[in-house]
Structure 1
Amino acid sequence: MKNYKLIQARKTKGYTQEKLAKKLEYRKSTISNWENGYSTPKMEDAFKLAEILEKDIKDLFLNQKEQDSHTNTA
């Protein structure tokens, strides 16, 4: 399941997947996998990500049902 909140937060901050990956010292494909729901970050990486994107970690990774409803209305 896509993580639309993570995608939106990244875009709002003006980061490409590649720029965000460099900040976290990961590959672009890792960010893509997180955004597309193929994998999730380790806890420490999730906190770093939330800090970089200036979002609460709960806003990025919880409330999956809310994100699911986004796909059902689109």
Structure 2
Amino acid sequence: SDIHAQAAKAGLNDLLAVLDARLAAQPWMLGADYSLVDLVVGSVLGYSVFLGAPVNAHPHVQAWLARVQARPAMQIDS
């Protein structure tokens, strides 16, 4: 229902705010180095953006996602 969708969006925005604060202090999810966590979360979040996740309201998440998506593991050979 509509109320559940609004609650999910609010929860997602809260999560993005937590990630944004973390990524303001370090370049990758677990610190200084890229890890499997970045690959997995980046994959899910990249798809979430496609579905309308408000990543652009969280500049550190947006910059991190761009770094993740530029990694060789995220490239799709055609």
Mark yes or no: TM-score above 0.5: no
* Largest Rg, 1 or 2: 2
TM-score (norm 2): 0.28
Question: Normalising to structure 1: TM-score of the pair?
Answer: 0.29
